[in-house]
Structure 1
């Protein structure tokens, strides 16, 4: 009886302990991480440039700090140019699309709606002429509200751009902090890490090193998994778009497959607007074909993603799917990748008897 009581007590204590850890990690990721995010990114970049700096320094017989400084400078110059070019292109494209929305509505969508309504009106008139007037009033209200909403979309886009512009100073300060911190992390990485490791026992440092190695290796596994998913999506899109009769189907499929990595947007970031615009232009056959391709690719991806990612991480597909769903809803893209990796890490620690968390 006493043994049974102790087991229940130990289970309750362990459960509370796990929930406390989860709560602390959630609070840190949700709130504290935004405050220290520039330094986290600076640390990650410094860590990634550590080995290349060592290699170049030993090969050229140049002081490592000078090499680290140069690599960080080259890295940020390259990334800066790429980000600026992409941002300008995306902003210009989005502005063009939003600005022509009222024109598309007036020249194509509105005439299409009127032609559909004329057909409905003829059918209703044959059934009951008295209903035609009610139908006309409802249609006029619908057209007016739709026009107002189209205008609101254009105005809200302008407001969104203004909001982004107003938040730029704070964002630029974070970027500046990240850049400066990266130089320090890259040049004095071993010194800083040596200081931190001396504050803990040998056992803690061994566990920390093991966790770090596992997380780094797991990240590469996740990247490989999503590269496989992206390749499958590319093949599906290439075949589907070719069947539909889209010119340059392979190139378009490659561009869409890149967007497929994005957790919120995915293939829908390109496919959904494309389907809508094609439908508004009156090319219904192509629009339906694109819709079928999009639905097929989305279903296959949602089936394969948890199976591939879960299989690579050593966790069940149901657990992987659940962790990705909860993670993306709680923490966005960080949760999408972080939750499955955390579960995989906990399983690894349990399997190696580092911590006994479950049977």
Structure 2
């Protein structure tokens, strides 16, 4: 009896302990990450630039500190120029699309709605006056509710834009802090790393270095895995759009494949609106072809993603799919990549005997 009571007590203690760990990790990722993210990304960028800095320093005989400063400057300058060029291109594309909306409404949507209403009126002429009065009343109610919904959506959109505008100063401050921190960390990278490691016991330092080595290798594996997935999506899109006889099929396929990396939007963020536009233009054949192509790509993606990512990380496809789903719902893009990597790291440490979590 005492043994059974001890087992129950031990189970409750372990369950509470595991729950507290999960809660701490969740709160840390959800709130603490937002506070330390500028310094975390600064450290990551400084780490990535260390190896080329040391090589250039050994070749030119210039101190590593000054080489690191130059590389950080070149790194952020290149990123800034690329973002500026992409921003200008995106603004030009969106502007051109918005300018085409009135033409699309006048030539496609308005005639479609008018023809639909005329067809409804012709069908109602044969019905009783009572039914017509009821239909008119319901239609007026629909129009009023539609107007209220449009107004509510407009207010929500204005609120969302206001929130984005109000968060921009804080975002730019974080970017500025990250850039400045990168310069300082890159200059004294070895000093900072040695100081941090000295705060841990020899066993703790061994674990930290093992985690760092595994995460670096795992990130490369994840990038390679998603590069394979994007390549497969690109090939599928290229073949499908070419069979549909779409102009610039290769360029469109490349754009959608790059967009496919986003977990929320993905391929559907481009192809579903594309299908709807073709339906409004009464190009039903193209719309159906694009829809079939989208469904095919989505099914193939859901089959190969857990298999490819899981096999690269040493995880079962079901476990990988669960991690991707859970991470996307909790933390968005970061969770999609972070959860499989975190579980893979736990498995690696468990297999190495560093920790004992799984049996």
Could you tell me the TM-score, scaled by structure 1's length?
0.90
For 2:306 and 2:357, the matched residues in 1 are separated by 23
For 1:101 and 1:131, the matched residues in 2 are separated by 36
Residue 211 of structure 1: aligned partner: 211
For 2:154 and 2:77, the matched residues in 1 are separated by 34
For 2:134 and 2:21, the matched residues in 1 are separated by 62
- For structure 1, which segment, 338-347 or 102-111, has the greater mean C-alpha deviation from structure 2 after superposition? 102-111
Q: Verify the 8 A CA contact 1:102 1:151 in the aligned structure 2.
A: no
For 2:93 and 2:152, the matched residues in 1 are separated by 19
Which blocks of at least 5 consecutive residues in structure 1 are unaligned?
none
Residue 44 of structure 1: aligned partner: 44
Q: Verify the 8 A CA contact 1:42 1:181 in the aligned structure 2.
A: yes
Report how far residue 287 of structure 1 moved: 1.3
Residue 221 of structure 1: aligned partner: 221
For 1:124 and 1:348, the matched residues in 2 are separated by 70
- For structure 1, which segment, 89-98 or 239-248, has the greater mean C-alpha deviation from structure 2 after superposition? 89-98
Root-mean-square deviation (Å)? 2.7
Residue 335 of structure 2: aligned partner: 335
For 2:288 and 2:133, the matched residues in 1 are separated by 33
For 1:147 and 1:249, the matched residues in 2 are separated by 40
Report how far residue 6 of structure 1 moved: 5.3
Give CA-to-partner distance per residue, 1:84-104, whole Å, 9 cap, x none. 222233234335544654553
Relative to structure 1, the CA distance from residue 246 to residue 141 in structure 2 (aligned partners, 3 Å threshold; closer, same or farther) is farther
For 1:146 and 1:115, the matched residues in 2 are separated by 20
Residue 89 of structure 2: aligned partner: 89
Relative to structure 1, the CA distance from residue 270 to residue 355 in structure 2 (aligned partners, 3 Å threshold; closer, same or farther) is same
Relative to structure 1, the CA distance from residue 145 to residue 29 in structure 2 (aligned partners, 3 Å threshold; closer, same or farther) is same
Residue 286 of structure 1: aligned partner: 286
Q: Verify the 8 A CA contact 1:101 1:150 in the aligned structure 2.
A: no
Residue 274 of structure 1: aligned partner: 274
Report how far residue 167 of structure 1 moved: 2.6
Q: Verify the 8 A CA contact 1:102 1:150 in the aligned structure 2.
A: no
Matches within 5 A, 1:1-359: 9-98=9-98, 100-101=100-101, 104-126=104-126, 131-132=131-132, 134-135=134-135, 138=138, 160-359=160-359
Relative to structure 1, the CA distance from residue 348 to residue 271 in structure 2 (aligned partners, 3 Å threshold; closer, same or farther) is same
- For structure 1, which segment, 251-260 or 156-165, has the greater mean C-alpha deviation from structure 2 after superposition? 156-165
Give CA-to-partner distance per residue, 1:226-257, whole Å, 9 cap, x none. 11111111111112112222112122111100
User: What is the number of residues matched between the two proteins?
Assistant: 359
Could you tell me the TM-score, scaled by structure 2's length?
0.90
Relative to structure 1, the CA distance from residue 292 to residue 265 in structure 2 (aligned partners, 3 Å threshold; closer, same or farther) is same
Relative to structure 1, the CA distance from residue 140 to residue 300 in structure 2 (aligned partners, 3 Å threshold; closer, same or farther) is farther
SS at match of 1:208: helix
Report how far residue 24 of structure 1 moved: 1.1
